[in-house]
Amino acid sequence: VSGKTTGSPSPSVADAESSGESGFAAWWRRAGKIDKSTIAALGGAALLSYGLISNLFYVSSLLGAMYTACNLHAASPLVSKPAMQTFVTTYFGLWMIQNFLRPARMGLSVAISPQTDKIVEFFRKYVPGNRKPLAFGLTVFCVNVLGTFAYMFGGFFLITAVTGVPIEVGALKSLLAAGKAEVAKNALA
The sign one gets for the Cα dihedral 27, 29, 30, 34 is positive
Of all residues in the chain, what percent carry a pLDDT higher than 70?
78
Among 111-115, 154-158, 162-166, the range scoring the smallest mean pLDDT is: 111-115
User: What is the structure's pLDDT at 170?
Assistant: 77
Euclidean distance between CA atoms 50 and 100, whole angstroms? 16
Find the DSSP H helices in the chain. Answer: 13-18, 23-32, 36-42, 44-73, 81-100, 102-124, 132-139, 147-163, 171-188
180 CB neighbour count, 10 Å cutoff: 10
> What average pLDDT does this structure show over 138-149?
94
Euclidean distance between CA atoms 119 and 135, whole angstroms? 9
Q: Work out the pLDDT band at 32, boundaries 50, 70, 90.
A: low
User: What is the structure's pLDDT at 33?
Assistant: 63
**Range with the largest mean pLDDT of 14-23, 97-106, 137-146:** 137-146
> What average pLDDT does this structure show over 118-122?
92
| Per-residue pLDDT reduced to its tens digit, 176-187 | 777 788 788 888
User: What is the structure's pLDDT at 109?
Assistant: 86
Euclidean distance between CA atoms 65 and 91, whole angstroms? 5
Q: What share of the chain is helix, strand, coil (3-state, %, to 5)?
A: 80, 0, 20
User: What is the structure's pLDDT at 34?
Assistant: 63
The DSSP code sequence of 150-163 is: HHHHHHHHHHHHHH
User: What is the structure's pLDDT at 18?
Assistant: 52
Euclidean distance between CA atoms 174 and 161, whole angstroms? 24
> What average pLDDT does this structure show over 62-91?
94
Q: Work out the pLDDT band at 7, boundaries 50, 70, 90.
A: very low
